[in-house]
Structure 1
Amino acid sequence: MNLGDLVVRKSYGGDLTFRVEDIVQNKAVIKGTEFRLLADSPLDDLVQVPPTRITERGQQAQIKAIEHLSWLRKDRQEQSQRSGESVSGAWTQTPAKEPAYFEVPGKVLHLDGDAIYLQKSLSLYEQLRIPAEGHHIHESKMAETLYRLLPRVRPDIVVITGHDGVLKQQQHYDLYSLSSYKNSQNFVAAVRVAREYEKNFDSLTIVAGACQSHFEALLGTGANFASSPGRILIHALDPVYIAAKASFTPIRDSVNLSEVLNHTISGNQGMGGIETRGSFRIGMPRLQNLATLKVAPSVL
């Protein structure tokens, strides 16, 4: 067995597919390919599978992902139409049949502990025409990284995610204690830095957490949305769906909590949050193509 191999766990009935990240003696560190779960496993409990093999649970997650992306795209299109109607009560167009306004979706700064998930997330932002900057950062380094990045990027939305999980080696784990989680304490530290940077919950929307993360601690530190109320596994793109919805919800409206949470793949036991205003704005007049603009210079 080698690094990068795809595997399933025999003891769990092969319910999830993982990628081997590290091998130490007779154990492997594995990361979920669909869910943001970090785990370790004895090598003799792992079975290598081909890239084409998809578990039933993984297949269900992929189907839901396609459905929810379709919903986001439709919602994005409808928001564009509502933006045009809000300008003058109808589509305000230029002579070229193009809207006379321009859109300013909320800008996303996305920190991810997983490089593959980061690329998937950035691809989704691009499909939805959401400005986003992403960085692959180990969970333990996220707080100090945010301290440097926030003043430069000045985002409207921050996503802090990666891998997490309740530590299984503790005989009597306490779900109220951050020490019972793999990375929740790192996510909490990062949320604290972000909230100290911008204290207004409507000026900076923070989406934080991964699989089984300490939901209450993340919200209590200042996150607007977090995982995981039911300490369940969350899909890799669940934080992205919430960030996207916040990005194109108008600033005069609140993000529809029940709608956005029910349209995550893991549902409201995987993600939760508080009432939060959107970050989407429109402007006028429509931005012009400066390469074709005829201008008479006025300065010698």
Structure 2
Amino acid sequence: MITNGDLVTRKSYQHDVLFRVKSLDGSYVKLMGEDIRLEADAPIDDLRQVTGTEYHQRKSQIDKQEAYSYRLFRQDYRLLKEKRESEAGSGYANAKEEVNYFQIPPRILHIDGDPLFLKKCIQLYEQLGLQVHGQYLHEREMPDQVMALVEKVQPEIVVLTGHDAYSKIKGSMRDLEAYRHSRYFVEAVRNIRQHHPHFDQLVIFAGACQSHFESLIRAGANFASSPARVNIHAVDPVYVAARVAYTSFMDHINIWDVIRNTISGQEGLGGVETRGLLRIGMPYSKEVEDLS
């Protein structure tokens, strides 16, 4: 018997995605991806419960993917750090002693339609050494409430994500109404851009699984999902935000450098040319310790 919170897969999709049951309504069930940002409905007789052994096998595979992406990002971070240190040192080539620098990373506002994914993302931001203000909002609430949060937090990076899905029954891939939550992400991005039009002063990531990529970019997102209408992993938005956060504002970001560290890759994520947001200062002193 299927109940709320159960882990299941769908027979009609060859058990490709692991879901958690969110709610039941008669013979239909609302599902949320356990590791990907996909929301779906399914008849209860299309579901199969996942055993403990199978869950651990699937979880082990996901953990390996996450660990690999994390290692890639840390490698890139070290390269970026070496570049900053080299540039800082060359600027003081004639100094009598070494001059240490400090860095001021951007403020990040992460708004998520899934409280469990939000918690997971916050933990990853902390692992990556970034400070973030996290806020849970249902996707349909984002357009109306996003500006109040932006004005309160004053971020340089805004992440708008949660769950989404494309349905062929509702229309073609070009039709925004054929997507579960894309229109809410689009409206929220548009509302932000009305007040913050400069792409290099406020960087926006928007979207979830199978989201309407083109509409999000046209609305004003710097980065979005999903060009090939594929599923994206829960933590992919964090890696996009982190790459922007750790790239100097003097440098343009290579879009491939952003998406190659993600689990979803170029089919799941894309964007437009954008500058980094990290600012370097010197000399280092105890008074600015809390800034770095």
- TM-score when normalising by structure 1: 0.88
Residue ranges of structure 1 left out of the alignment (5+ in a row): 292-300
Deviation, 1:102, is 1.4
C-alpha displacement of 1:70: 0.8
Runs of 4+ more than 4 Å apart: 55-61
Deviation at residue 271 of structure 1 after TM alignment: 0.5
Normalized against structure 2, the TM-score is what? Answer: 0.90
Deviation at 1:43, TM superposition (A): 1.1
Specify the code of the residue in structure 2 equivalent to 1:86. Answer: E
Which residue does 1:80 correspond to in 2? Answer: 81
Match 2:279 to one of 281, 285, 295 = 281
CA distance in 2, matches of 1:53, 1:287: 53
Q: Which amino acid aligns with 2:160?
A: I
Higher helix residue share? 2
Pick closer, same or farther for the CA change 1:90–1:252 going to 2, 3 Å.
Answer: closer
Describe the shift of the 1:199–1:290 C-alpha distance in structure 2 as closer, same or farther (beyond 3 A).
closer
Relative to 1, partners in 2 of residues 1:168 and 1:40: Cα closer, same or farther, differing over 3 Å? Answer: farther
Give the equivalent residue in structure 1 for 2:243. 245
1:69-121 C-alpha deviation (Å, 9 max, x unpaired) = 111122223323322222222999xxxx9972211122211000011111111
Which position in structure 2 is the counterpart of 1:297?
A: none
Which residue of structure 1 aligns with residue 48 of structure 2? 47
**1:126, distance to aligned residue in structure 2 (A):** 0.5
* Superimposed CA distance per residue, residues 218-274 of structure 1 (whole angstroms, 9 cap, x where no aligned partner): 000000011111111111111111111011011011112112222221111110100
Where does structure 2 lack aligned partners over 5 or more consecutive residues?
none
Q: Distance in 2 between matches of 1:265 and 1:58?
A: 14
Q: How many residues align?
A: 285
Q: Contact 2:102–2:280 at 8 Å: present in 1 too?
A: yes
Tell me the percent identity.
42
* Contact 2:101 2:283 (C-alpha < 8 Å) held by counterparts: yes
Aligned to 2:5: 4
1:143 is aligned to 143
**Shift in Å at residue 162 of structure 1?**
0.5
Distance in structure 2 (CA, Å) of the matches to 1:258 and 1:78? 16
Q: How does 1:227-242 map to 2 (within 5 A)?
A: 227-242=225-240
For 2:222 and 2:144, how far apart are their aligned partners in 1?
20
1: CA distance, partners of 2:69 / 2:20: 25
Q: Decide whether the 8 Å contact of 1:214 with 1:228 is kept in 2.
A: yes
In the TM superposition, what are the counterparts of 1:206-217 in structure 2 within 5 Å? 206-217=204-215
Greater displacement, 228-237 / 83-92: 83-92
Structure (1 or 2) with the larger CA radius of gyration: 1
Shift of 1:217: 0.4
**Residue equivalent to 1:103:** 103
User: What residue in structure 2 maps to residue 69 of structure 1?
Assistant: 70
Q: Deviations over 1:30-80 (max 9, x none)?
A: 011111100011111112224553487765543222111111122223323
